[in-house]
Amino acid sequence: MFRHMGPFGTNSGRPAAVGRPWLGVRFDCAGVYVRVYRNPNANAYLAQCPACGQSVRFRVGPGGTAERFFTVSCGQSRYTRRR
């Protein structure tokens, strides 16, 4: 018996997020790729590296970028080090 199949017969157990914009961001130091959803209060996406905690903000919309995939070179010494 596989209870995780769910009543809909698909593997998508997520609530419908149709139309909700997102960006793909890869963090170099963590080596992971995360999906970032837009901040509902602003035309910006706020992504945070799970490894070093570096947060990066992406502006979108008019005057912003149309790109959807980014790579962040975080965890490098050119950023201010945490104490």
Query: CA-CA distance, 16 to 72, in Å (whole number)?
Result: 29
Q: In what order do the strands lie in the sheet with 69-72?
A: 32-37, 22-27, 69-72
Site for Zn ion in 5-64 (CB under 5 A): 27, 29, 49, 51-52, 54
CB of 76 to Zn ion, least distance (A): 9
Toward Zn ion, which CB reaches closer, 3 or 81? 81
Which residues, including other chains, have CB under 8 Å from residue 83's CB and lie 6 or more apart? Answer: none
Toward Zn ion, which CB reaches closer, 27 or 58? 27
Q: Which residues bind Zn ion (CB under 5 A)?
A: 27, 29, 49, 51-52, 54, 74-75
